[in-house]
């Protein structure tokens, strides 16, 4: 049974109106969460001051000198972190949705395909070598891209291009291999400060979001990944019927595969390079979005973008205020991801059998 047929066996097809309402609800929930998150933090800023400062910024009025401290906290610390958390969650979720559609398998994700661990190795090497930010990005992207191509290459040889199970198993092996390489890099690191920075970074966190330095970089990477995926959305939908049927519809499958892998790897590698390894998001959020709007990639793309950003923003808001010391967000996503995925499997067991 094909991936497309399994996705649509959930009952009656959802109509455009219901899908639009779901997207609208996600958008409103995201805006509300952003506003609430802006008022949360260690600095004591009242909601009235938050609303007043927002109003002054939106209308272009001068800020009262008595509120300079609050202005810096809100718009130079919290706002860029909120935007970065949203974009990283959106990027990881979009990459997962694209990989799942490309390989026609709901179990595929950047973590499983080795993209995250490969990008982590590249970024770790960049940290050890003291490369600048652009070097870190480039290393993460190249190693992430190399990891996914290695998975596809080995899976084609072992499974003769027919077994999706082989693809997943090879992805687990390659991911484990890159994880071991990353551990070896940490073992060889003799600088305690570099080792500490690397370990904390690999846990995944927005604690050092870099004010407004990293948000524009992530915005560019997100645009470079989203725009190609959106422009090829109908071709990705055609892949759901199988490669032969897609070719009969005029889709260049090999070219499209490289295109989607490149865009998805760029999204994943950029998120890893800026914020470290954040697991489970690219696997779970596409499933939840599919429950809301169905498998149509034209609808799944915006739903995954909004849902991934919303999920990551909620998690980051919780870790900022729940504990005296901020817990790395990657730990929380792993704690939440495992039971959520088990629940999804239980709900969809009749669909995926």
* pLDDT of 54 above 70: yes
pLDDT tens-digit readout, 96-126: 999 888 888 777 888 878 888 898 898 888 8
| Cβ-based burial of 336 (10 A; exposed 0-12, middle 13-18, buried ≥19) | middle
Nearest by Cα to 8 from 253, 345, 293, 299 = 293
Contact 78, 316 (CB under 8 A): no
Name the average pLDDT for the chain. 83
Q: Is 150 helix (H, G, I), strand (E, B) or coil?
A: helix
Fold for 17-108+134-145+209-352, please state it.
ABC transporter involved in vitamin B12 uptake, BtuC (1.10.3470)
pTM score of the predicted model: 0.85
Q: To the nearest whole percent, how much of the chain has pLDDT over 90?
A: 23
**pLDDT at residue 12, as a whole number:** 41
What are the domain boundaries of the chain?
17-108+134-145+209-352
How many CB atoms are located within 10 Å of the residue 216 CB? 13
Is the pLDDT at 283 greater than 70? The verdict is yes
User: At 82, is the pLDDT very low, low, confident or very high (cuts 50, 70, 90)?
Assistant: very high
Q: Are 111 and 280 in contact (CB under 8 A)?
A: yes
């Amino acid at each position: 049974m094909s991936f497309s047929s399994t996705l649509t066996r959930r009952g009656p097809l959802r109509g455009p109106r219901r899908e639009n309402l779901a997207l609208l609800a996600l958008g409103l929930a995201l805006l509300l969460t952003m506003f609430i998150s802006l008022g949360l933090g260690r600095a004591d800023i009242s909601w009235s001051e938050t609303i007043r400062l927002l109003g002054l910024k939106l209308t272009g009025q001068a800020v009262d000198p008595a509120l300079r401290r609050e202005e810096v906290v809100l718009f130079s610390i919290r706002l860029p972190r909120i935007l970065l958390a949203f974009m990283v969650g959106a990027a990881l979720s979009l990459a997962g949705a694209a990989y799942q559609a490309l390989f026609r398998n709901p179990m595929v994700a950047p973590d499983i395909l080795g993209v995250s661990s490969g990008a982590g190795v590249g970024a770790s090497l960049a940290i050890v070598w003291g490369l600048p930010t652009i070097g870190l990005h480039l290393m993460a992207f190249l190693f992430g891209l190399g990891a996914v191509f290695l998975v596809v290459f080995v899976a084609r040889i072992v499974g003769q291009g027919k077994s999706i199970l082989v693809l997943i198993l090879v992805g687990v092996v390659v991911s484990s291999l890159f994880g071991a390489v990353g551990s070896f890099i940490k073992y060889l690191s003799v600088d305690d400060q570099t080792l500490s920075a690397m370990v904390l970074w690999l846990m995944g966190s927005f604690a050092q979001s870099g004010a407004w330095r990293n948000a524009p970089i992530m915005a560019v990477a997100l645009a470079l990944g989203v725009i190609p995926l959106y422009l090829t959305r109908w071709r990705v939908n055609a892949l759901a019927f199988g490669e032969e049927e897609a070719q009969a519809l005029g889709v260049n499958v090999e070219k499209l595969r490289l295109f989607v892998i490149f865009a998805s790897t760029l999204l994943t590698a950029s998120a890893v390079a800026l914020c470290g390894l954040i697991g489970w998001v690219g696997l779970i959020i596409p499933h939840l979005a599919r429950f809301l709007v169905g498998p149509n990639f034209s609808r799944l793309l915006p739903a995954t973008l909004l849902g991934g950003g919303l999920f990551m923003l909620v998690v980051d808001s919780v870790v900022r205020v729940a504990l005296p010391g901020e817990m790395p967000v990657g730990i929380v996503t792993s704690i939440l991801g495992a039971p959520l995925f088990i629940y999804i499997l239980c709900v969809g067991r009749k669909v995926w059998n």
